[in-house]
Chain A
Amino acid sequence: DAGITQSPRYKITETGRQVTLMCHQTWSHSYMFWYRQDLGHGLRLIYYSAAADITDKGEVPDGYVVSRSKTENFPLTLESATRSQTSVYFCASRTSGSYEQYFGPGTRLTVT
């Protein structure tokens, strides 16, 4: 039972490059979320999805793009990475019947 996985776990990229962070869950949870974690800010919601092909912006969506063609996958793309996007990114999921979210292990992204 893999649960929720993220790849890569660590990524270094250069300013201006496109990078995609992957999130995969095996529970068939309908809701999926992307957060970024920065010192002093806790977790901030980037994008979320209520089901396949349904996505919406969170608190800090600028510079990010998401898609959800399959229930189990929710990739996050930085179209043109900036240094301010250096952060730890967490993917989470939950069922439609409950509010607690289950988190992946995170991806540490450094933009140089």
Chain B
Amino acid sequence: AQSVTQPDIHITVSEGASLELRCNYSYGATPYLFWYVQSPGQGLQLLLKYFSGDTLVQGIKGFEAEFKRSQSSFNLRKPSVHWSDAAEYFCAVGPYNDYKLSFGAGTTVTVRA
């Protein structure tokens, strides 16, 4: 069965600094990978997705993620964070021919002025 690990429960970053959130997955074949963001009191919004092709994918709000097959990772990055990026971020994986997604436990990002 697939699984997703987000090693960092909480990250604090200064406004304007770079951000990287880690995501590792366990699955035998190439998965479909997603990053979602959840602002306080809101539902989950899709930031970006990887299905195939270029391993560096661009998403909304200035985020990007890189798929590294050798490391079973799909880390999320942003070069310069804004206070509005304070939220919880979830990585998710969905194997081919399986409609279900498995979510990581989430990483909470705090942005300090």
Contacts and interface: CB of A to CB of B under 8 A. Distances in A.
Interface in A26-61: 31, 35, 40-45, 48, 50, 58
Interface string A79-106: 0000000000010101000011111111
A60 B51 CA distance: 27
Given A50-B99, A58-B100, A41 B43 contact: no
Nearest to B9: A40
A99 B46 contact: no
Contacts of A48: 99-100
Nearest to A92: B44
A31 B105 contact: no
B55 to A, nearest CB: 18
A103 B104 contact: no
Contact of B101 (A41, A101, A104, A105): A101
Nearest to A6: B43
Nearest to A102: B46
Contacts of A106: 42-43
Contacts, number: 46
A58 B1 CA distance: 13
A44 B102 CA distance: 8
Nearest to A104: B43
A7 to B, nearest CB: 13
A46 to B, nearest CB: 12
A103 B43 contact: yes
A40 B45 CA distance: 19
Contacts of B99: 31, 48, 50, 94, 99
Interface string B32-74: 1010100000111110010100000000000000000000000
Interface of A: 31, 35, 40-45, 48, 50, 58, 90, 92, 94, 99-106
18 contacts: A31-B99, A35-B103, A42-B4, A42-B90, A42-B104, A43-B103, A48-B100, A90-B43, A99-B49, A99-B94, A99-B99, A99-B101, A100-B34, A101-B46, A101-B101, A102-B46, A103-B44, A104-B43
